[in-house]
Structure 1
Amino acid sequence: MATEKFSITIIFVNYKTSKLIDACLKSLTSQSFLNFNIVIVDNSPNNFDILELESLKIKFKDIFEISIFKPKFNLGFAGGNNYAIRRVKTKYTFLLNCDTEIDDPDCLSKIYEYMEAHKNVAMLSPKMKIFSNPNIIWYAGAKINPSNFYLSYHIGENRKDSGQFDKTIDTDYSVGAALFFRTEITNKIGFLDEIFFMYWEETDWNLTAKQNGYIIKYFPKTTVLHKVRINSVNNKENERVNLFQLYLYTRNMIILHFKHYSLLKILIFLPRQLIKKTLIQLRVAMKNSEYKIILTQIRAIYNGIYIGFNRKMYRSCRKKMVEEYKFLNTIPKISRSLQ
């Protein structure tokens, strides 16, 4: 599957984030390892960013080979990455969020050398820190536990980096914001499940990889900076006021339960999680007089159970997926700041 020209393909999925991609590409120019190409999948509507992306292609033409793909409609994070991965011919693929930057000039060389030396490792993510405060960790490995209220969490999140997470270890999942993998594993585990659109899709994919015997690592020998909002890191109650985010996060968590856990575990753990999360969202809705929040939560629960059950029974969700894509394009956003 590898080509002689490049060893790594870095994929960005763009949705009105061309300026962020520009900054990330600038950070990549300092890499000591330059044997990689760039693929950008533009999900933005109505050619919103296409001219700016084309200008980036020209701007960096002497450093990177950049390919830009424009699907007919917004495929989401899962579908956008799949669109690119299906066209990748390199040995390795690196999914990189647009809102990341790499400050370690040896980042790619360290990851490449590690993967070459450890043929049993299929996926990894480096340590990730918060861009606005690089002393604070965002990701140092991850845990998944169906009995936990949050289902999954990042190890070390929001903690000061004092070197306490500097050991390469197995992890429950590599994070989609910086996910490095052997391209050939798609021959066995397939691609990201596009029903997720975004949120939980990489967790689902990692679980599928583990179920197929693949090893996944947290690799702290290098770091990636993530422009995550501090308030989202500190939001321990999981309050969500963006309807698009709320809908997908709730729906997809339910789908993931059905895909990877027994019906007994689903019946024991999922209702408790959903009741508590719904009560939290009800409180937010009442506090802000935005009752679309709770209506969105209820719809997310219904469709999560419907899709999840059908996924568990290995039934096609093609028709439902089309309906969901149409709904996601019309879901209302709350524009004002909520308390």
Structure 2
Amino acid sequence: MAVDVSVIFVNYNTVSLLIDAIDTVLNKTLDIKYEIIVVDNNSNDNSKSILWHKYGQKVNYIDLSENIGFGRANNEGMKKAAGRNVFLLNPDTLLNNNAIKILSNYLDANKQVGVVGASLYNEDGSPQASYSFFYPSLSYEFSNLLHLSFLFNTETFNDSVFPKEVKRVVGAAMMIKKEVIEKVGMFDPRFFMYAEEDEWCYRITKAGYKLVNLPESSITHLDGKSFLFSEQRKLRQLEGIRTFYKVTYSPLYCEFLKCIEYLTIVNRLFIFRLLKHTEKVNYWKFMYAHRKWK
């Protein structure tokens, strides 16, 4: 039996969230053939046993011997995926409608579209950033240093009912054609967590495919609930964006980025110390302590 969509979850000690996410896939997904693949990053929350007793063969479980990060774990799932389209879905998500069929139908009907993303909502129903019109770059970092980042298009949510072409979609809920994966490759294994979807989207657009946000597809994203330790999260984000720069741009370009980043840190520390804004000072002290690129 042909599979239309392979739904891939990466789990790391988030079994309770994952169960809610899988339940919404099973309850909301209609009139389409799909499979569910869970890639477990060596969790210690008894995920495998819990999922087996609840779902049995409805879930294909890949048990990894170590935590290899988000992108590489998704790669393991993609290697096993039988679907014509592959849907990468975070465990801290809940489908609000028949989102999988909506996304898959759009991909099938639009040859030049390689990736499609859903519109994401917070737990209270308010809009959440779902896409971006630019990639991280020297110009953005420089505008941030000069407090001019507002000059960039900051729209991140599609208020209309129409599909919108974008530069990147948020990796919490992105669907990609299997043929695109075969052409451009999977996630870059040099990433552990964060910004890997930025680099992937960048590579996909370079290959000539379009990326689209489809507002009809609605998903709640409980952002951050699967990664609660804030300092560790900030460090992962910092490592991710620096990895994006290193694998995307030239060494000379990265040297300029390092200089701009350092000046921004010093600038913000000076300003927030003057303002006696303790929380902001602590954040930029953290950034200063981790100013050196690996």
* Fold match by TM threshold 0.5: yes
Once superposed, what is the RMSD of the aligned Cα atoms? 3.3
Asked if 1:115 is matched to 2:107, the reply is: yes
Q: TM-score, normalised by structure 2?
A: 0.81
Contact 1:41–1:80, Cα closer than 8 Å, also in 2: yes
Which residue, 125, 129, 132 being the options, matches 1:138? 129
Are positions 1:18 and 2:10 aligned together? no
Which residue is equivalent to 1:56?
54
Following superposition, the deviation at residue 72 of structure 1 comes to 1.1
Per the alignment, residue 162 of structure 2 pairs with 167
Show the 5 A alignment for 1:98-109. 98-104=91-97, 106-109=98-101
- 2:261 maps to which of 255, 263, 273: 273
Query: Which AA in structure 2 matches 1:107?
Result: A
Structure 2 counterpart of 1:273, one-letter code: E
**Alignment of 1:226 onto 2:214:** no
- Cα distance in 1 for residues equivalent to 2:170 and 2:118: 9
Q: Is the Cα–Cα contact under 8 Å of residues 254 and 270 in structure 1 kept in the other structure?
A: no
Distance 1:220 1:166 in 2: 6
Q: Is the 8 A contact 2:13 2:45 kept in 1?
A: no
CA contact (8 A) 1:15 1:42 kept: yes
CA distance in 2, matches of 1:302, 1:99: 30
Measured after TM superposition, the shift of residue 243 of structure 1 is 3.6
Match of 2:75 in 1: 82
- Structure 2 counterpart of 1:124, one-letter code: V
Contact 2:4 2:33 in 1 (8 A): yes
Separation of aligned partners in 2, 1:281 and 1:26: 46
1:176 Cα deviation after fit: 0.8
Does the 8 Å CA contact 2:39/2:61 hold for their aligned counterparts? Answer: yes
| In 1, Cα distance between equivalents of 2:203 and 2:21 | 30
Equivalences for 1:158-197 in 2 at 5 Å? 164-197=159-192
In structure 2, what is the equivalent of residue 200 of structure 1? 195
Distance change >3 Å, CA 273–CA 288, structure 1 → 2:
closer
The answer on whether the counterparts of 2:117 and 2:175 sit within 8 Å (CA) in structure 1 is yes
Paired position in structure 2 for 1:92: 85
SS of the counterpart of 1:225? strand
Structure 1 residue ranges without an equivalent (≥5): 233-239, 304-339
Q: 5 Å matches for 1:323-338?
A: none
Identity percentage over the alignment?
19
- Following superposition, the deviation at residue 302 of structure 1 comes to 2.5
Residue 165 of structure 2 aligns with an amino acid whose one-letter code is: D
1:52-75 deviations in whole A, cap 9, x for unaligned?
A: 2223323xx5xxx31001111011
| TM-score calculated relative to the size of structure 1 | 0.71
**Separation (CA, whole Å) in 1 of partners of 2:127 and 2:283:** 35
Distance 1:274 1:183, change over 3 A: farther
Q: How many residues align?
A: 278
Report the alpha carbon displacement of residue 184 of structure 1 after superposing the two structures with TM.
Answer: 2.0
